[in-house]
Chain A
Protein backbone atom coordinates (compact mmCIF):
# COMPACT_ATOMS: atom_id res chain seq x y z
CA UNK A 1 0.00 0.00 0.00
CA UNK A 2 1.27 3.39 -0.88
CA UNK A 3 2.08 5.63 1.99
CA UNK A 4 0.00 8.71 2.51
CA UNK A 5 1.70 12.04 2.50
CA UNK A 6 1.04 15.52 3.70
CA UNK A 7 1.84 18.40 1.41
CA UNK A 8 3.64 21.05 3.41
CA UNK A 9 3.79 24.68 2.32
CA UNK A 10 5.45 27.41 4.30
CA UNK A 11 5.06 31.01 3.18
CA UNK A 12 6.36 34.19 4.74
CA UNK A 13 5.85 37.70 3.42
CA UNK A 14 9.36 37.79 2.06
CA UNK A 15 9.60 34.41 0.44
CA UNK A 16 8.08 31.02 -0.02
CA UNK A 17 10.15 28.70 2.12
CA UNK A 18 8.62 25.40 1.11
CA UNK A 19 6.04 24.67 -1.50
CA UNK A 20 3.97 21.49 -1.56
CA UNK A 21 6.69 19.35 -0.13
CA UNK A 22 5.52 15.81 0.58
CA UNK A 23 6.19 14.87 4.20
CA UNK A 24 4.98 12.16 6.55
CA UNK A 25 4.63 14.01 9.78
CA UNK A 26 4.57 17.62 10.95
CA UNK A 27 4.48 19.20 14.37
CA UNK A 28 3.56 22.82 14.78
CA UNK A 29 3.73 25.14 17.79
CA UNK A 30 0.01 25.77 18.02
CA UNK A 31 -1.58 28.36 20.23
CA UNK A 32 -2.57 25.91 22.91
CA UNK A 33 0.52 23.75 22.73
CA UNK A 34 2.45 21.57 20.36
CA UNK A 35 0.34 19.84 17.76
CA UNK A 36 1.24 16.83 15.67
CA UNK A 37 -0.27 16.31 12.25
CA UNK A 38 -0.46 13.05 10.33
CA UNK A 39 -2.15 12.41 7.00
CA UNK A 40 -5.90 12.31 7.34
CA UNK A 41 -6.06 15.06 9.94
CA UNK A 42 -9.32 16.94 10.34
CA UNK A 43 -9.59 20.37 8.73
CA UNK A 44 -8.24 22.89 11.11
CA UNK A 45 -7.20 26.52 11.30
CA UNK A 46 -4.95 27.43 14.15
CA UNK A 47 -2.92 30.37 15.31
CA UNK A 48 0.76 29.71 15.90
CA UNK A 49 3.01 31.15 18.51
CA UNK A 50 6.72 31.41 18.13
CA UNK A 51 8.43 28.08 18.40
CA UNK A 52 9.87 25.27 16.40
CA UNK A 53 8.18 23.02 13.93
CA UNK A 54 9.53 19.70 12.77
CA UNK A 55 8.74 17.67 9.77
CA UNK A 56 9.78 14.17 8.89
CA UNK A 57 10.06 12.57 5.54
CA UNK A 58 11.45 9.06 5.64
CA UNK A 59 14.74 9.20 7.51
CA UNK A 60 15.06 12.88 6.75
CA UNK A 61 14.18 15.32 9.53
CA UNK A 62 14.18 19.07 9.47
CA UNK A 63 13.60 21.70 12.14
CA UNK A 64 12.20 25.12 11.41
CA UNK A 65 11.74 28.07 13.67
CA UNK A 66 8.54 29.98 13.05
CA UNK A 67 7.35 33.22 14.46
CA UNK A 68 3.77 34.34 14.91
CA UNK A 69 1.62 32.97 12.21
CA UNK A 70 -1.23 30.74 11.23
CA UNK A 71 -1.58 27.22 10.00
CA UNK A 72 -4.33 25.75 7.93
CA UNK A 73 -4.80 22.02 7.52
CA UNK A 74 -7.19 20.95 4.85
CA UNK A 75 -7.34 17.68 2.91
CA UNK A 76 -3.80 16.59 3.72
CA UNK A 77 -2.43 19.99 2.83
CA UNK A 78 -0.63 21.89 5.53
CA UNK A 79 -0.21 25.59 4.94
CA UNK A 80 1.91 27.61 7.33
CA UNK A 81 1.80 31.39 7.14
CA UNK A 82 4.39 32.88 9.41
CA UNK A 83 5.96 36.28 9.78
CA UNK A 84 9.33 34.60 9.74
CA UNK A 85 10.39 31.04 9.20
CA UNK A 86 13.95 29.83 9.04
CA UNK A 87 15.76 26.59 9.04
CA UNK A 88 16.95 26.34 12.60
CA UNK A 89 20.49 25.51 11.62
CA UNK A 90 20.72 28.57 9.40
CA UNK A 91 20.29 31.06 12.18
CA UNK A 92 23.55 32.44 13.41
CA UNK A 93 23.17 33.40 17.01
CA UNK A 94 26.39 35.35 17.31
CA UNK A 95 25.60 37.51 14.34
CA UNK A 96 22.10 38.13 15.59
CA UNK A 97 23.40 39.23 18.95
CA UNK A 98 25.85 41.64 17.35
CA UNK A 99 23.16 43.12 15.15
CA UNK A 100 20.91 43.52 18.15
CA UNK A 101 23.58 45.36 20.06
CA UNK A 102 24.45 47.62 17.20
CA UNK A 103 20.85 48.55 16.60
CA UNK A 104 20.15 49.29 20.24
CA UNK A 105 23.27 51.44 20.43
CA UNK A 106 22.13 53.41 17.42
CA UNK A 107 18.75 53.90 19.01
CA UNK A 108 20.34 54.99 22.26
CA UNK A 109 22.40 57.69 20.55
CA UNK A 110 19.36 59.38 19.08
CA UNK A 111 21.39 61.82 17.05
CA UNK A 112 19.79 64.25 14.69
CA UNK A 113 20.65 62.59 11.45
CA UNK A 114 20.41 58.97 12.40
CA UNK A 115 17.84 56.87 10.72
CA UNK A 116 15.70 55.84 13.63
CA UNK A 117 13.35 53.81 11.54
CA UNK A 118 15.95 51.63 9.99
CA UNK A 119 17.59 51.13 13.36
CA UNK A 120 14.26 50.18 14.82
CA UNK A 121 13.63 47.79 11.99
CA UNK A 122 16.97 46.08 12.37
CA UNK A 123 16.48 45.91 16.11
CA UNK A 124 13.25 44.09 15.55
CA UNK A 125 14.77 41.76 13.00
CA UNK A 126 17.65 40.94 15.31
CA UNK A 127 15.26 40.30 18.17
CA UNK A 128 13.43 37.79 15.99
CA UNK A 129 16.67 36.05 15.13
CA UNK A 130 17.75 35.90 18.74
CA UNK A 131 14.44 34.45 19.74
CA UNK A 132 14.77 31.79 17.09
CA UNK A 133 18.25 30.92 18.28
CA UNK A 134 17.03 30.77 21.87
CA UNK A 135 14.15 28.51 21.00
CA UNK A 136 16.49 26.22 19.18
CA UNK A 137 18.80 25.99 22.15
CA UNK A 138 15.95 25.20 24.46
CA UNK A 139 14.68 22.43 22.28
CA UNK A 140 18.01 20.79 21.83
CA UNK A 141 18.30 19.91 25.46
Chain B
Protein backbone atom coordinates (compact mmCIF):
# COMPACT_ATOMS: atom_id res chain seq x y z
CA UNK B 1 0.00 0.00 0.00
CA UNK B 2 1.22 3.45 -0.93
CA UNK B 3 2.40 5.52 1.94
CA UNK B 4 0.89 8.89 2.77
CA UNK B 5 3.94 10.69 1.50
CA UNK B 6 3.76 9.02 -1.91
CA UNK B 7 0.14 9.94 -2.31
CA UNK B 8 0.81 13.55 -1.33
CA UNK B 9 3.59 13.77 -3.89
CA UNK B 10 1.35 12.32 -6.55
CA UNK B 11 -1.37 14.84 -5.78
CA UNK B 12 0.96 17.79 -5.98
CA UNK B 13 2.37 16.67 -9.33
CA UNK B 14 -1.12 16.21 -10.77
CA UNK B 15 -1.99 19.65 -9.46
CA UNK B 16 0.87 21.29 -11.27
CA UNK B 17 -0.02 19.48 -14.47
CA UNK B 18 -3.54 20.73 -14.11
CA UNK B 19 -2.27 24.25 -13.74
CA UNK B 20 -0.38 23.95 -17.00
CA UNK B 21 -3.24 22.46 -18.96
CA UNK B 22 -5.61 25.05 -17.58
CA UNK B 23 -3.28 27.88 -18.56
CA UNK B 24 -2.90 26.45 -22.05
CA UNK B 25 -6.63 26.23 -22.39
CA UNK B 26 -7.06 29.85 -21.41
CA UNK B 27 -4.36 30.97 -23.84
CA UNK B 28 -5.96 29.04 -26.70
CA UNK B 29 -9.36 30.45 -25.80
CA UNK B 30 -8.01 33.98 -25.89
CA UNK B 31 -6.28 33.46 -29.21
CA UNK B 32 -9.10 31.76 -30.96
CA UNK B 33 -11.18 34.93 -30.91
CA UNK B 34 -8.52 36.68 -32.92
CA UNK B 35 -8.09 33.74 -35.27
CA UNK B 36 -11.79 33.69 -35.99
CA UNK B 37 -11.75 37.42 -36.57
CA UNK B 38 -8.93 37.00 -39.06
CA UNK B 39 -10.93 34.41 -41.00
CA UNK B 40 -13.90 36.73 -41.17
CA UNK B 41 -11.72 39.65 -42.22
CA UNK B 42 -10.15 37.69 -45.05
CA UNK B 43 -13.46 36.73 -46.60
CA UNK B 44 -14.38 39.94 -48.47
CA UNK B 45 -11.06 39.98 -50.28
CA UNK B 46 -11.31 36.36 -51.33
CA UNK B 47 -14.88 36.83 -52.45
CA UNK B 48 -14.14 39.87 -54.60
CA UNK B 49 -11.09 38.17 -56.01
CA UNK B 50 -13.08 35.13 -57.07
CA UNK B 51 -15.74 37.30 -58.62
CA UNK B 52 -13.23 39.29 -60.60
CA UNK B 53 -11.56 36.16 -61.89
CA UNK B 54 -14.89 34.70 -62.90
CA UNK B 55 -15.81 37.88 -64.73
CA UNK B 56 -12.50 38.01 -66.45
CA UNK B 57 -12.62 34.38 -67.40
CA UNK B 58 -16.05 34.90 -68.87
CA UNK B 59 -14.71 37.73 -71.01
CA UNK B 60 -11.83 35.78 -72.42
CA UNK B 61 -12.21 34.06 -75.71
CA UNK B 62 -11.00 30.48 -75.85
CA UNK B 63 -7.94 31.38 -77.84
CA UNK B 64 -6.79 34.03 -75.41
CA UNK B 65 -6.05 31.70 -72.62
CA UNK B 66 -2.88 29.98 -73.73
CA UNK B 67 -1.50 33.39 -74.69
CA UNK B 68 -1.77 34.51 -71.12
CA UNK B 69 1.11 33.59 -68.89
CA UNK B 70 -1.57 32.20 -66.68
CA UNK B 71 -2.57 29.59 -69.20
CA UNK B 72 -0.18 27.13 -67.65
CA UNK B 73 -2.08 27.25 -64.39
CA UNK B 74 -5.32 26.26 -66.05
CA UNK B 75 -4.24 23.49 -68.35
CA UNK B 76 -4.85 19.97 -67.26
CA UNK B 77 -1.50 18.29 -67.36
CA UNK B 78 -0.79 14.88 -68.76
CA UNK B 79 -1.01 12.13 -66.19
CA UNK B 80 2.41 10.97 -65.16
CA UNK B 81 5.27 12.96 -63.83
CA UNK B 82 5.41 13.84 -60.19
CA UNK B 83 2.76 14.91 -57.77
CA UNK B 84 2.86 17.68 -55.24
CA UNK B 85 1.39 17.62 -51.76
CA UNK B 86 0.88 20.65 -49.57
CA UNK B 87 0.43 19.59 -45.97
CA UNK B 88 -0.58 22.08 -43.31
CA UNK B 89 -0.07 20.88 -39.73
CA UNK B 90 0.50 22.54 -36.39
CA UNK B 91 3.84 23.48 -34.88
CA UNK B 92 3.08 22.17 -31.44
CA UNK B 93 1.37 19.16 -30.01
CA UNK B 94 -1.03 19.02 -27.07
CA UNK B 95 -4.00 19.58 -29.29
CA UNK B 96 -5.75 16.22 -29.22
CA UNK B 97 -6.02 14.32 -32.45
CA UNK B 98 -5.43 17.38 -34.62
CA UNK B 99 -2.03 16.34 -35.93
CA UNK B 100 -2.56 12.59 -35.71
CA UNK B 101 -5.54 12.69 -38.02
CA UNK B 102 -3.78 14.95 -40.46
CA UNK B 103 -0.73 12.75 -40.59
CA UNK B 104 -2.92 9.69 -41.04
CA UNK B 105 -4.63 11.37 -43.98
CA UNK B 106 -1.28 12.34 -45.45
CA UNK B 107 0.04 8.81 -45.03
CA UNK B 108 -3.04 7.41 -46.72
CA UNK B 109 -2.59 9.82 -49.60
CA UNK B 110 1.05 8.86 -49.93
CA UNK B 111 0.13 5.19 -49.92
CA UNK B 112 -2.39 5.78 -52.68
CA UNK B 113 0.26 7.37 -54.80
CA UNK B 114 2.96 4.90 -53.97
CA UNK B 115 5.52 4.50 -56.68
CA UNK B 116 5.29 8.04 -57.98
CA UNK B 117 7.61 10.83 -57.22
CA UNK B 118 6.08 13.14 -54.67
CA UNK B 119 7.24 16.62 -53.87
CA UNK B 120 6.02 17.93 -50.56
CA UNK B 121 5.54 21.45 -49.34
CA UNK B 122 4.98 21.32 -45.62
CA UNK B 123 3.81 23.90 -43.13
CA UNK B 124 4.22 23.22 -39.44
CA UNK B 125 6.85 21.45 -37.40
CA UNK B 126 4.81 18.33 -36.69
CA UNK B 127 4.26 17.55 -40.33
CA UNK B 128 7.86 18.18 -41.22
CA UNK B 129 9.17 15.88 -38.51
CA UNK B 130 6.71 13.18 -39.56
CA UNK B 131 7.71 13.35 -43.20
CA UNK B 132 11.39 13.31 -42.38
CA UNK B 133 10.93 10.08 -40.48
CA UNK B 134 9.25 8.37 -43.41
CA UNK B 135 11.48 5.99 -45.25
CA UNK B 136 11.28 4.07 -48.47
CA UNK B 137 9.25 6.57 -50.44
CA UNK B 138 10.24 8.54 -53.47
CA UNK B 139 9.59 11.76 -51.69
CA UNK B 140 11.32 15.09 -51.49
CA UNK B 141 10.54 17.96 -49.17
CA UNK B 142 10.73 20.90 -51.51
CA UNK B 143 9.77 23.66 -49.18
CA UNK B 144 9.09 23.85 -45.49
CA UNK B 145 7.71 26.57 -43.31
CA UNK B 146 7.77 26.24 -39.55
CA UNK B 147 7.04 28.52 -36.66
CA UNK B 148 4.43 30.71 -38.31
CA UNK B 149 1.54 29.89 -35.99
CA UNK B 150 -0.27 31.50 -34.24
CA UNK B 151 0.68 34.61 -36.12
CA UNK B 152 0.14 33.54 -39.69
CA UNK B 153 -0.19 36.54 -41.96
CA UNK B 154 -0.72 37.18 -45.62
CA UNK B 155 3.05 37.44 -46.13
CA UNK B 156 3.40 33.80 -45.17
CA UNK B 157 0.74 32.84 -47.66
CA UNK B 158 2.58 34.82 -50.29
CA UNK B 159 5.88 33.11 -49.60
CA UNK B 160 4.11 29.78 -49.72
CA UNK B 161 2.33 30.51 -52.98
CA UNK B 162 5.55 31.75 -54.55
CA UNK B 163 7.23 28.49 -53.61
CA UNK B 164 4.37 26.37 -54.91
CA UNK B 165 4.06 28.25 -58.17
CA UNK B 166 7.77 28.02 -58.77
CA UNK B 167 7.63 24.31 -58.14
CA UNK B 168 4.64 23.92 -60.41
CA UNK B 169 5.95 25.91 -63.32
CA UNK B 170 9.48 24.59 -63.32
CA UNK B 171 8.78 20.90 -62.86
CA UNK B 172 6.44 18.49 -64.59
CA UNK B 173 4.10 18.32 -61.63
CA UNK B 174 0.77 16.83 -62.53
CA UNK B 175 -1.31 18.36 -59.79
CA UNK B 176 -1.00 20.02 -56.42
CA UNK B 177 -3.05 18.60 -53.57
CA UNK B 178 -3.73 20.41 -50.35
CA UNK B 179 -4.38 18.63 -47.03
CA UNK B 180 -5.36 20.69 -44.03
CA UNK B 181 -7.76 20.95 -41.13
CA UNK B 182 -10.79 23.09 -41.63
CA UNK B 183 -12.29 24.99 -38.75
CA UNK B 184 -15.87 23.85 -38.57
CA UNK B 185 -16.84 24.87 -35.08
CA UNK B 186 -15.29 25.20 -31.66
CA UNK B 187 -15.63 21.46 -31.08
CA UNK B 188 -15.02 19.90 -34.47
CA UNK B 189 -12.48 20.08 -37.22
CA UNK B 190 -12.66 18.48 -40.58
CA UNK B 191 -9.80 17.25 -42.69
CA UNK B 192 -9.98 18.61 -46.20
CA UNK B 193 -8.18 17.19 -49.20
CA UNK B 194 -8.39 19.64 -52.02
CA UNK B 195 -6.85 20.17 -55.40
CA UNK B 196 -5.07 23.50 -55.61
CA UNK B 197 -3.68 23.30 -59.13
CA UNK B 198 -4.47 23.13 -62.02
CA UNK B 199 -7.18 25.70 -61.63
CA UNK B 200 -9.64 25.08 -64.40
CA UNK B 201 -11.98 22.98 -62.36
CA UNK B 202 -12.71 25.48 -59.59
CA UNK B 203 -13.43 28.39 -61.77
CA UNK B 204 -15.44 26.86 -64.55
CA UNK B 205 -17.85 25.43 -62.05
CA UNK B 206 -19.37 28.77 -61.19
CA UNK B 207 -18.75 30.46 -64.43
CA UNK B 208 -22.31 30.57 -65.64
CA UNK B 209 -23.28 33.80 -63.95
CA UNK B 210 -20.31 35.68 -65.30
CA UNK B 211 -21.24 35.64 -68.94
CA UNK B 212 -24.03 38.15 -68.90
CA UNK B 213 -21.92 41.21 -68.22
CA UNK B 214 -19.72 40.55 -71.16
CA UNK B 215 -18.44 43.54 -73.09
CA UNK B 216 -19.28 46.10 -70.47
CA UNK B 217 -15.80 46.56 -69.11
CA UNK B 218 -12.63 48.10 -70.35
CA UNK B 219 -9.40 46.51 -69.19
CA UNK B 220 -5.95 47.82 -68.60
CA UNK B 221 -3.53 46.17 -69.27
CA UNK B 222 -4.97 43.50 -71.60
CA UNK B 223 -7.33 40.88 -70.28
CA UNK B 224 -4.86 38.06 -70.42
CA UNK B 225 -2.13 40.04 -68.68
CA UNK B 226 -4.59 41.02 -66.04
CA UNK B 227 -5.60 37.42 -65.52
CA UNK B 228 -1.98 36.44 -65.37
CA UNK B 229 -1.44 38.90 -62.55
CA UNK B 230 -4.64 37.95 -60.77
CA UNK B 231 -4.19 34.22 -60.59
CA UNK B 232 -1.09 34.09 -58.40
CA UNK B 233 -2.88 36.39 -55.99
CA UNK B 234 -5.90 34.17 -56.11
CA UNK B 235 -3.74 31.27 -55.07
CA UNK B 236 -2.18 33.43 -52.39
CA UNK B 237 -5.59 34.33 -51.03
CA UNK B 238 -6.63 30.70 -51.06
CA UNK B 239 -3.53 29.64 -49.18
CA UNK B 240 -4.02 32.46 -46.74
CA UNK B 241 -7.49 31.17 -45.98
CA UNK B 242 -6.09 27.68 -45.57
CA UNK B 243 -3.50 28.86 -43.08
CA UNK B 244 -6.07 30.77 -41.09
CA UNK B 245 -8.48 27.85 -41.05
CA UNK B 246 -5.78 25.53 -39.87
CA UNK B 247 -4.70 27.99 -37.23
CA UNK B 248 -8.19 28.42 -35.84
CA UNK B 249 -8.79 24.67 -35.96
CA UNK B 250 -5.58 24.03 -34.07
CA UNK B 251 -6.53 26.45 -31.35
CA UNK B 252 -10.00 24.99 -31.07
CA UNK B 253 -8.59 21.48 -30.87
CA UNK B 254 -6.10 22.55 -28.24
CA UNK B 255 -8.79 24.26 -26.24
CA UNK B 256 -11.03 21.22 -26.06
CA UNK B 257 -8.11 18.86 -25.47
CA UNK B 258 -6.80 20.97 -22.63
CA UNK B 259 -10.23 21.37 -21.16
CA UNK B 260 -10.73 17.63 -20.93
CA UNK B 261 -7.20 17.23 -19.59
CA UNK B 262 -7.94 19.71 -16.82
CA UNK B 263 -11.14 17.90 -16.04
CA UNK B 264 -9.37 14.57 -15.86
CA UNK B 265 -6.75 16.05 -13.58
CA UNK B 266 -9.45 17.33 -11.24
CA UNK B 267 -11.03 13.89 -11.10
CA UNK B 268 -7.70 12.30 -10.43
CA UNK B 269 -7.02 14.72 -7.60
CA UNK B 270 -10.40 13.99 -6.05
CA UNK B 271 -9.74 10.26 -6.18
CA UNK B 272 -6.27 10.60 -4.74
CA UNK B 273 -7.44 12.85 -1.93
CA UNK B 274 -10.05 10.27 -0.99
CA UNK B 275 -7.45 7.54 -1.02
CA UNK B 276 -5.12 9.64 1.11
CA UNK B 277 -7.79 10.26 3.71
CA UNK B 278 -8.68 6.60 3.82
CA UNK B 279 -5.07 5.62 4.30
CA UNK B 280 -4.64 8.12 7.09
CA UNK B 281 -7.77 6.86 8.80
CA UNK B 282 -6.60 3.29 8.48
CA UNK B 283 -3.27 4.19 10.04
CA UNK B 284 -4.96 5.87 12.99
CA UNK B 285 -7.24 2.90 13.50
CA UNK B 286 -4.36 0.46 13.47
CA UNK B 287 -2.42 2.53 15.93
CA UNK B 288 -5.39 2.80 18.28
CA UNK B 289 -5.92 -0.94 18.01
CA UNK B 290 -2.34 -1.58 18.96
CA UNK B 291 -2.48 0.73 21.95
CA UNK B 292 -5.73 -0.72 23.21
CA UNK B 293 -4.65 -4.32 22.81
CA UNK B 294 -1.29 -3.51 24.40
CA UNK B 295 -2.84 -1.96 27.45
CA UNK B 296 -5.27 -4.85 27.75
CA UNK B 297 -2.42 -7.36 27.69
CA UNK B 298 -0.59 -5.45 30.41
CA UNK B 299 -3.48 -4.58 32.71
CA UNK B 300 -5.46 -7.80 32.29
Contact = CB atoms under 8 A, between A and B. Distances in A.
A31 B218 CA distance: 14
Contacts of B38: 14
A70 interface: yes
Contacts of B146: 115, 117
B41 A16 contact: yes
Contact of B230 (A14, A70, A117): A70
B216 A47 contact: no
Interface string A54-91: 00000000000000001010100001010100000000
Given A43-B216, A117-B145, A117-B147, A70 B52 contact: yes
A11 B41 CA distance: 9
Interface stretch (B156-164, B184-192, B246-254): B156-164
Contacts of B44: 11, 16, 19
A138 interface: no
Interface stretch (A92-100, A104-112, A118-126): A118-126
A13 B159 contact: no
A115 B145 CA distance: 9
Interface residues of B, number: 36
A122 B219 CA distance: 34
Contacts of A72: 48, 52
Contacts of B48: 11, 72, 79, 81
Contacts of B170: none
A124 B230 CA distance: 20
A40 to B, nearest CB: 14
Contact of A13 (B45, B56, B220): B45
B42 interface: yes
Contact of A125 (B45, B153, B218): B153
A59 to B, nearest CB: 29
A70 B219 CA distance: 11
A13 B38 CA distance: 9
A28 to B, nearest CB: 11
A13 B220 CA distance: 23
A12, A46, A121: most-surrounded residue (chain B CB, <10 A)? A121
A13 B240 contact: yes
A42 interface: yes
Given A12-B45, A31-B221, A121-B159, A45 B154 contact: no
Contacts of A19: 44
B65 interface: no
A81 B45 contact: yes
Contact of A117 (B41, B148, B216): B148
Given A13-B154, A14-B153, A44 B218 contact: yes
A6 B234 CA distance: 26
Contact of B159 (A43, A45, A120): A120
Given A32-B221, A45-B56, A83-B154, 12 more contacts: A14-B42, A16-B44, A44-B217, A45-B52, A45-B55, A70-B230, A72-B48, A118-B148, A121-B148, A121-B153, A121-B156, A122-B155
Interface of A: 11-16, 19, 30-32, 42-47, 70, 72, 74, 79, 81, 83, 115, 117-118, 120-122, 124-125
The list of the 6 closest CB pairs from A to B, nearest first, reads A115-B147, A13-B154, A121-B155, A11-B45, A46-B220, A117-B145
